[in-house]
Amino acid sequence: MKRVDDEFAFQVRELSGQIEGILGDPPDRKNYNNVVKALLAEYTKKVIVEDVNLLSFALADHLTFDKPARLLTAAKKYDAANPATVASLVSCASADYSALLATLFESHPELTRKAVIVAFLHKNPNLWLGQEAAPVEEEEEEEEEEEEDLDETGGPTSDVIDLFDEAQDPHEN
């Protein structure tokens, strides 16, 4: 069984790419912090950009994930109906950020729920990335198809051999 919904996995990869892009090479923490401050300032002014990754980006460094196992369970469904549950699983060290988080959960509950889960998954990749290394069922099907191209003696079937027999050697006449 999957540990994380595919859409959450996609969003986390997108977030990681955005963060790497902002940090740059070599990493510029000052630029990164300025972007986070700018995003938080916009959300504080109640200018809500309906983008899961931008909100995750803004909150990720300020959230404390109080119940990781329950957050991981919440990550199994991208579209679920209980933002209040996710709100109870996180906190912020700062009173200002706690107030902002409460306001966001009140005004944009679904967006905030998704953003919190994406931030959690981004900060805790070891809890869920093992699923991506697991073999996929499609790969097993491909192996079966390859086996069908071999006859009982372990050699290629006549269909495969015929592909090469059609090509004529230009030196033969």
| Boundaries of every domain in the chain | 6-133
Burial of 166 (0-12, 13-18, 19+ CB in 10 A): exposed
The H-assigned helical ranges of 24-165 are: 29-44, 52-59, 68-74, 83-87, 95-107, 109-123, 130-133, 137-148, 158-165
Q: Is the pTM here over 0.75, yes or no? A: no
pLDDT score at 150: 46
Residue ranges in the chain whose pLDDT is less than 50: 1, 132-151, 160-161, 163-167
Residue whose pair of structure tokens reads 């050699």 in the numeric block: 155
CA dihedral 47, 86, 115, 15 (to 10 degrees): 160
Tokens of 20: 């790497």
Which pLDDT belongs to residue 93?
A: 87
